[in-house]
Amino acid sequence: MEKVQGEMEIERWERSEEISDAEKKVIQEIWSRVYANCEDVGVSILIRFSCAAKGLWAEPTHVVGKNNSNEDLEVFFVNFPSAKQYFSQFKHMEDPLEMERSLQLRKHARRVMGAINTVVENLNDSEKVSSVLALVGKAHALKHKVEPIYFKKLTGVMLEVIAEEYPNDFTPEAHGAWTKMKTLIYTHVTAAYKEVGWAQYPTATL
């Protein structure tokens, strides 16, 4: 049977970026700590999501569970204001504190973390990984109509936040493993976008 473009994309990824068993272990060990703080880290990631671009996040002070500052939220949406356009309940909010309380943001944080948790738990089951990320990709393309480039940004921010929150665990080896994890998520998600015929891909840049 002829392969669709998405499948070829994933095959290419599998050849070049295979995550070794040792790297899977490193990812799973760090993730178990991250996931124990699921909601706080998830909210931090989503808040930071759009922080870096304008340099407003030059000196991060955020500590999980301690300093959910409104500065975080302000920076998040100031840098990529269009990210908030996708969220019906807070797209018109300007007050960072109000946004921080947004149940929709917290709900999405939990969902993002839950989906990544399933991927991490199933790193040895490539079919499960593909199916979870294909569902995420298709829903965000068809239902939420999110530009796929935001996934690159969000997964990059995920790495930054994890590196800052768990500096002792985030060795160069861990960094390498998590970079592959980031690529894995993005490759599968964008393959799903292509599969459903997302027209804009990959012209947008952030």
CB of 108 to ligand HEM, least distance (A): 5
Cis peptide before 202 (omega within 30 of 0): yes
Tell me which residues in 161-180 interact with ligand HEM (CB under 6 A): none
CB of 201 to ligand HEM, least distance (A): 14
At 72, which amino acid appears? D
Does the protein bind ligand HEM through residue 41 (CB under 6 A)? no
Interface with ligand HEM: number of residues (CB under 6 A) = 21
Does the protein bind ligand HEM through residue 146 (CB under 6 A)? yes
Determine the Cα–Cα distance for residues 168 and 148; give it in Å rounded to an integer.
32
Does the protein bind ligand HEM through residue 108 (CB under 6 A)? yes
Q: How many CB atoms lie within 10 A of CB 131?
A: 14
Q: Residues with Cβ < 8 Å from 55, sequence gap 6 or more? A: none
In the Cβ-directed half-sphere of 68, how many Cα atoms lie within 13 Å?
Answer: 17
In the Cβ-directed half-sphere of 83, how many Cα atoms lie within 13 Å?
Answer: 24
Taking CB under 6 A as the criterion, the residue among 26, 41, 154, 192 binding ligand HEM is 154
- The contact set with ligand HEM (CB under 6 A) reads 83, 86-87, 104, 107-108, 111-112, 115-116, 136, 139-140, 143-144, 146, 150-151, 154-155, 185
